[in-house]
């Protein structure tokens, strides 16, 4: 009865977007294997094993948005394909200031804040749970910081302006919710505040002795923390710190898949068995199959195996199209599109940071370590550079090919806009209308769904 009363209150207050339906969804998804008891007007988990069950809830912790994939320069909709996409895809592809119709919800926003809510539930309650050792509680506690940090890194780079190391980063981004209270303020925090919290959470995971080697790559680890710090500092333009953490991650995990050893794409390992993945997070499946741009496809050399393993004919997707899409998620129904941190990304981050720090040869060395595993046997794979600028250009080009189909190009476009050398204006023709994306324009920030602002006016402040 108390649960029904709570549900009615939630509906009445209309905060269904963030911390309102999330508790209901959480209890619905976990009720088969966790014990919950009513306390006043809320429900709480009781045993440490309940919190471990929540922390291991694969579907609730891995999906991490991805609408930016449709907006990034790696995607190009063929003319005939344009008539098959829905309004969400069309609006995202053309960088509109309103993505969703009044009847639609933002699946990215909901999935990421659900991860935040689950993390906050754990952080708030695991230490007082019953029938668990302090070591078990500490492990779960440390993991929750990493999940929350990852969610906020996605959120701030989707719905907030780009972090600028030369500014105060005082622009509004997203709500920063740090406890599981149902009626928290949804006023948006600044870009700087969100990044401060991301760094604080990752450092808290280290301070709580997060495990070195989890059983599965969907669970956070120390190497994952270092890798996420490397990505975060890269987005912040703190290249020495980014490099330091990328190296720490590579010291703990550096194995690369040799594409020459595969008979076909179907030999590619599933996500949970992929030795390159340090920490697995996935795009929402709705973004699977977005057509890849001709410029990107044409950048692959004929002896680069990634073209055959990372891309696949558009006839394999629904709707079908002429061209190619990202292949890996098609090889196995258990393989999603990983946007978590990986060994290849760490080599690419190290290469870029070395180049930016003036160490040309070390930048090239890191690129060649990766490229050695990506080219046909007996063919030339090594690159060379005479200057840091040449090495940086090579590193950025290699990122596009290695991190293909994941939307990382969007985050690179955002941060490279801060450098006049790499700024670029993008244009697209969609149903005969030409759209333009200028450097640092509002089009680089996805709007928070107007439905949510209408229900929660503080989101618009």
Task: Compare 460 and 85 and report the one with higher pLDDT.
Answer: 85
- Looking at residue 42, its pLDDT comes to 47
Least confident of 250-264, 323-337, 368-382: 323-337
Least confident of 143-152, 278-287, 308-317, 329-338: 329-338
SS3 for 37? strand
DSSP type of residue 437: E
Nearest to 270 by CA among 343, 338, 345, 332: 332
Q: Averaged over 167-172, what is the pLDDT?
A: 98
- Looking at residue 6, its pLDDT comes to 33
Residue 37 in this model has a pLDDT that exceeds 60: no
Residue 15 in this model has a pLDDT that exceeds 50: no
Based on its alpha-carbon atoms, the radius of gyration of the chain, rounded to whole angstroms, reads: 22
Instruction: Please state, rounded to an integer, the average pLDDT across all residues of the chain.
Output: 90
Quickly list DSSP for 368-430: HHHHTTTB-TTS------SSHHHHHHHHHHHHHHHTTTTTHHHHHHHHHTTSTTT---EEEEE
Residue 137 in this model has a pLDDT that exceeds 90: yes
- Looking at residue 157, its pLDDT comes to 98
- Looking at residue 36, its pLDDT comes to 37
Least confident of 24-33, 106-115, 253-262, 263-272: 24-33
Q: Averaged over 105-121, what is the pLDDT?
A: 95
Q: Averaged over 179-189, what is the pLDDT?
A: 88
Q: Averaged over 299-327, what is the pLDDT?
A: 96
Residue 236 in this model has a pLDDT that exceeds 60: yes
Q: Averaged over 134-146, what is the pLDDT?
A: 98
How far is the CA of 22 from the CAs of 12, 85, 120, 450, in angstroms? 15, 29, 12, 19
Q: Which domains are present in the chain?
A: 1-210+425-461 (1.25.40.390), 220-420 (1.25.40.390)
Residue 221 in this model has a pLDDT that exceeds 50: yes
């Amino acid at each position: 009865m108390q649960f029904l009363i709570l549900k009615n209150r939630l509906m009445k207050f209309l905060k269904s977007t963030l911390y309102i339906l999330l508790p209901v969804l959480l209890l619905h998804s976990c009720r088969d294997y966790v014990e919950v008891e009513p306390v006043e007007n809320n429900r709480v988990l009781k045993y440490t094993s309940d919190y471990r069950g929540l922390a291991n809830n694969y579907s609730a912790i891995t999906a991490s948005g991805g609408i930016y994939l449709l907006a990034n320069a790696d995607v190009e909709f063929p003319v005939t394909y344009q008539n098959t996409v829905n309004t969400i895809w069309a609006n995202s592809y053309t960088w509109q200031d309103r993505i969703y119709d009044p009847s639609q919800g933002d699946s990215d926003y909901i999935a990421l804040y659900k991860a935040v809510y689950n993390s906050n539930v754990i952080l708030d309650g695991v230490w007082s749970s019953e029938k668990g050792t302090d070591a078990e509680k500490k492990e779960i506690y440390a993991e929750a910081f990493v999940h929350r940090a990852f969610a906020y890194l996605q959120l701030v780079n989707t719905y907030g302006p780009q972090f600028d190391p030369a500014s105060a980063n005082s622009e509004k981004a997203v709500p920063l919710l740090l406890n599981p209270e149902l009626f928290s303020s949804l006023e948006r925090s600044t870009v700087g505040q969100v990044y401060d919290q991301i760094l604080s959470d990752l450092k808290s995971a280290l301070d709580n002795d997060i495990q070195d080697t989890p059983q599965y790559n969907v669970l956070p680890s120390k190497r994952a923390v270092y890798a996420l710090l490397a990505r975060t500092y890269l987005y912040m333009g703190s290249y020495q710190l980014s490099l330091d953490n990328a190296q720490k991650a590579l010291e703990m995990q550096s194995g690369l898949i040799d594409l020459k050893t595969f008979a076909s794409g179907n030999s590619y390992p599933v996500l949970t068995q992929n030795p390159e993945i340090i920490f697995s997070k996935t795009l929402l499946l709705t973004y699977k199959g977005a057509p890849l741009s001709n410029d990107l496809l044409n950048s692959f050399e004929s002896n680069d195996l990634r073209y055959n393993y990372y891309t696949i004919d558009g006839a394999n997707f629904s709707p079908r199209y002429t061209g190619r899409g990202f292949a890996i998620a098609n090889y196995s129904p258990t393989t999603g599109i990983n946007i978590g941190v990986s060994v290849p990304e760490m080599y690419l981050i190290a290469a870029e940071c070395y180049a930016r720090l003036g160490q040309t040869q070390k930048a090239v060395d890191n690129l060649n370590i990766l490229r050695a595993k990506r080219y046909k046997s007996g063919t030339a794979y090594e690159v060379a550079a005479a200057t840091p600028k040449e090495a940086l250009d090579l590193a950025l080009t290699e990122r596009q090919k290695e991190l293909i189909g994941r939307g990382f190009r969007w985050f690179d476009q955002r941060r490279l806009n801060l450098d006049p050398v790499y700024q670029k204006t993008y244009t697209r023709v969609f149903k005969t209308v030409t759209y333009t994306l200028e450097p640092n324009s509002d089009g680089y920030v996805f709007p928070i769904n107007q439905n949510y602002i209408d229900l929660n006016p503080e989101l618009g402040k």
